[in-house]
Amino acid sequence: MKRRKKMQTRGFKKVVARISTEAYERADLIKEKFGFKSIYEINQYLWHCFLRVADPEHDEEEEPVPDEIRQMFYDLSEADRQFDFVKPKRKLPQYKLDEINGQLRLWKE
């Protein structure tokens, strides 16, 4: 039996964000309007812009950052930390659903 080679890490990390359905629909309209291939591509673009402004010492590009992008991230120390956080919902086990609906358990764990 052949052993599979472990996939090598290529130096990338995934950044996941949960947004509300309304925000996703707005992002989808923006994707169409500006010609992005996907909302993921918008996410990559925003991270790239943010890192160019927040950490300019490690910026590899020679062209200057446009003023509009610089203003988007201006004075990050005073940033408002209030945002629409969407907590993921986890599926309840069947016995919990039964208890909620009034069924009694025949055994205790």
Report the pLDDT averaged over residues 83-89.
65
End-to-end CA distance of the chain: 41
Tell if the pTM clears 0.95, that is, is over it. no
Let me know how long the chain is. Answer: 109
Distances (CA, A) of 10 to 15, 27, 42, 56: 15, 29, 22, 24
Own/partner contacts of 16-19, CB < 8 Å, gap of 24 or more, are 17/43, 18/85, 18/86, 18/87, 18/88, 19/84, 19/86
What's the pLDDT tens digit per position in 2-18?
555 555 556 888 888 88
Instruction: Give the pLDDT of residue 6.
Output: 53
